[in-house]
Structure 1
Amino acid sequence: MSTGADPQRSAGDLIAAIAGRTLPRNLHSLVLGQLGLAIVGGEFAEGSILPADAELLQRFGVSRTVLREALKTLAAKGMIEARARIGTRVLPRARWSLFDADVLSWHFQTGPDEAFLRSLAEIRIGVELESAALAASRRSDDQAQALLDCAQAMGQTTSAEDFARTDLLFHRTVAEASGNPFMASISTLVELALTAAFTISSPVNDPAALAASAAAHTRIAEAIKAGDAAQARVAMRAVITNGLERQMKARG
């Protein structure tokens, strides 16, 4: 399924644009991004030793300082570890900081597998169902109306990017309405999952799917407005699982 995205923009650029982030364009960020993608994509497999600095310097055409800073950043994300007389080893995926925005973005840019998508949906269920339930008892009148307006706008979007931005705004508002600052902080993961997912699939090119998605979000909004925590959980679970099914179908 086509997402309707601009083919001239990279997945990383699109993800950042929708989330409202500006990607840095300095040498450090470029080397970091290329190395991160190479590790997540399997060019440098888990447990392997990265090429020597001299080879990496030649590959990227940067100074040793720039390379070292990029490697330090990857180490801080739990992806690599430098050992004396051994070299820099790629750590097991279980040690990577999967909540990190860059690491998540690299997964989507390299094409996440089914297991990754399911794991991401599971953590979203763990966070967003409770967020919706809390919002049902804590939301303000303005937040309740904003959710209804957002759901309605979702059904009127005409591009994948507009749909993703509207979807993102909806889920951000749910997190804010929960009144829990930790929930809002965790929603960063949700935000990236939503913005990145549109690079795989979007309902915007299918009128029936678009209408169904808008209706599903409306059910969340109505449950929150009515103060029905149980129904808010049910409606949120449906949105997450339906989104996962759409991504799986798009992957074939």
Structure 2
Amino acid sequence: MLSALLLSALLLPLFLTGCGGGFAPVSSRDGYGPPPPGYYRIRRGDTLSEIARRQRVSMQRLADWNGLAPPYPIYAGRLLRVKPPQAGAPPRSGASKVAGAGTAGQKAASTPLTARPVSGADAASSGIRWQWPLSGPVKQGFRAGDRTRSGIRIAAPAGTPVGASADGTVVYSGSGLKGYGNLIIVRHSDRYLSAYGYNRRLLVREGERVKRGQSVAEVGEAPNGISLLHFEIRKDGVAVDPLRFLPASR
């Protein structure tokens, strides 16, 4: 689902990445000289949402013009189209590719789910202490390669506090990303993001540091009118099964 188009990460220096800037933070890459008209050369530390604000354009438009999918990973040194396609010249020969998710990540995202995940199986390797964002039954599970199931959906009454699943920095707080309603994206490390969608109310702002378990939002309703939280974890911009990181007990 953070695979349906998000907006302002994901994703943000990376989900996303991979929110998010978008949702995702910028990875370091070498530059290639001045950008052609209509393009911006991504700098280290840039996020898609910040670039969108500076260029006075919506983050969703930037994502659409550049073929970015949540959590919108961008890379320092690459070109990002910042004007409508007809308004800017194509990149010159030898210029770096327009920012986008790597093919390796796309292949990983399309790997089919073949077995029931083991709760917390990948938590130790992530180096992050994860916890459930709230208590409640999982009404829909993760399915690799399915953009409508890029996370899990946890049922809870509207207004239930949503806690950060780990310490981190808020890289997106808003409702501009299509398909997520009011959304919070938290960056936990250079590789990991978590996302919290369909909130009734957002309690933190972009750039704010949050602690594990700190309330970041309140549960709202999905488009079908059911009260629930859409929760995702992304590694290197690719959606992964949250149940492999969350502990068995809540």
TM-score, length-scaled by structure 1:
0.27
TM-score, length-scaled by structure 2:
0.27
Computing the radius of gyration from Cα coordinates, the structure with the larger value is: 1
Which structure is higher in helix share? 1
Which structure is higher in strand share? 2
